[in-house]
Amino acid sequence: MDGVARILIERLAPRTGRSFVAENRTGAGGDIAAASVAKAAPDGRQWFFTTDSVLTINPHMNPNRSYDPAALTAVSKIGEVVLLLAVNAQKIEAKTFAELVQLSAKRDLSFGSAGVGSPGHMAFEYLRAVSPLKGVHVPYRGAALALQDLVSGQIDASFIVAGVLVPHVKSGALRALAVSANKRIADLPDVPTAQQAGIADFEARFANILMAPSATSPALLAYMENETLAIARDPDFIAKLKSLSNEAESGSSIEAATWIVRERERWGKVIAKNKPAQ
């Protein structure tokens, strides 16, 4: 998210004549950052760039949040991200998902995530529901901390955004066992999709969504929508997205809002059925 946000604002600044600063606010699965923008003045000074899980998963996990989701409105959809199921290569001998399942039947495995309700957590719970995989969820305050402990061997495995994991997989510190979507990623073409790894009925994709306070003027919302989409459709920006293992699947405010509604319903069914452990 941080990488995509910085690439986006680097291009927004000269187009708009404004300076932009990426401010990372971690915690509560993104709700802390969401609340800060939802309660901000609708003057165009604060925008919220987020993975859609804040809008599609969090409402089911924590209905009593400190802000009203209706106080945020979608501006545009800037690419999609997929996750990699990865293990510590020195600690875990499994080289395939099937071998990981077998290993999990013999000893306790720990699976880290960026926090309860985060994409990595939900992907893990979803995976446990559709496969014999066993393991204990270990929530962190952000993906960076989970990745740090995965690389050091403090935890065994994790679902983390593909672009973050690629360097560690190529270095040999981590081993990727499956892609969370139905398409392999260019940076790691040998890593199978979940279906190819033998995991049926599983897919976890997430969109990058730009949001703003709902009371922001329609003219300003339309302006930012047009500017961000112009950037998102530029070949150089698309190449940058792909370097971070993001798919160049961007869309308008209407398409972003439609995505949120559809994915919120889909994850709601997953959560109701599987009741993720905390």
Specify whether 89 is located in the same domain as 225. no
Higher per-residue confidence, 103 vs 249 = 103
Q: 240 in a domain, yes or no?
A: yes
Higher per-residue confidence, 254 vs 141 = 254
The answer to whether the CB of 152 falls within 8 A of the CB of 112 is no
The answer to whether the CB of 73 falls within 8 A of the CB of 212 is yes
**Pairwise CA distance, residues 269 & 129, whole Å:** 12
* Percentage of residues of the chain with pLDDT beyond 90: 68
Q: Tokens 């003045």 belong to which residue?
A: 41
pLDDT band at 78 (very low <50, low <70, confident <90, very high): very high
Specify whether 31 is located in the same domain as 46. yes
Count the Cβ atoms, other than its own, within 10 Å of residue 18: 11
Q: Which of 191, 198, 168, 3 is nearest to 81 (CA)?
A: 3
Q: 151 in a domain, yes or no?
A: yes
Beta strands in 162-265 (DSSP E): 174-179, 205-213, 246-247
Mean pLDDT of 177-191: 90
Q: 143 in a domain, yes or no?
A: yes
Domain of residue 137, residue span: 81-179
Mean pLDDT of 254-269: 94
Specify whether 61 is located in the same domain as 75. yes
| Distance of alpha carbon 237 from the chain centroid | 19
Specify whether 65 is located in the same domain as 88. no
Q: What is the pLDDT of residue 276?
A: 47
Count the Cβ atoms, other than its own, within 10 Å of residue 62: 14
Q: What is the pLDDT of residue 186?
A: 83
- Please identify, among 136, 164, 179, the residue that sits at the C-terminal boundary of a domain: 179
pLDDT band at 64 (very low <50, low <70, confident <90, very high): confident
**Pairwise CA distance, residues 110 & 150, whole Å:** 10
Q: 199 in a domain, yes or no?
A: no
Q: 132 in a domain, yes or no?
A: yes
Specify whether 97 is located in the same domain as 175. yes
Specify whether 175 is located in the same domain as 93. yes
CATH of the domain at 270: 3.40.190.150
Two tokens, residue 231: 């950037």
Q: 184 in a domain, yes or no?
A: no
Evaluate if residue 4 carries a pLDDT over 70. Answer: yes
- Please identify, among 145, 179, 213, the residue that sits at the C-terminal boundary of a domain: 179
Specify whether 85 is located in the same domain as 161. yes
What letter does residue 71 receive in the DSSP assignment? G
Q: What is the pLDDT of residue 181?
A: 86
Specify whether 244 is located in the same domain as 265. yes
Specify whether 237 is located in the same domain as 257. yes
The answer to whether the CB of 130 falls within 8 A of the CB of 117 is no
The answer to whether the CB of 112 falls within 8 A of the CB of 150 is yes
Domain count, the chain: 2
Specify whether 88 is located in the same domain as 175. yes
Q: 147 in a domain, yes or no?
A: yes
The whole-chain average pLDDT of the chain stands at 91
What angle, 0 to 180 degrees and rounded to 10, lies between the N-to-C axes of helices 119-130 and 253-274? 50
Q: What is the pLDDT of residue 98?
A: 96
Q: What is the pLDDT of residue 275?
A: 60
Specify whether 86 is located in the same domain as 44. no
CATH of the domain at 99: 3.40.190.10
Q: 185 in a domain, yes or no?
A: no
Bridge partners of 112, per DSSP, are 138, 158
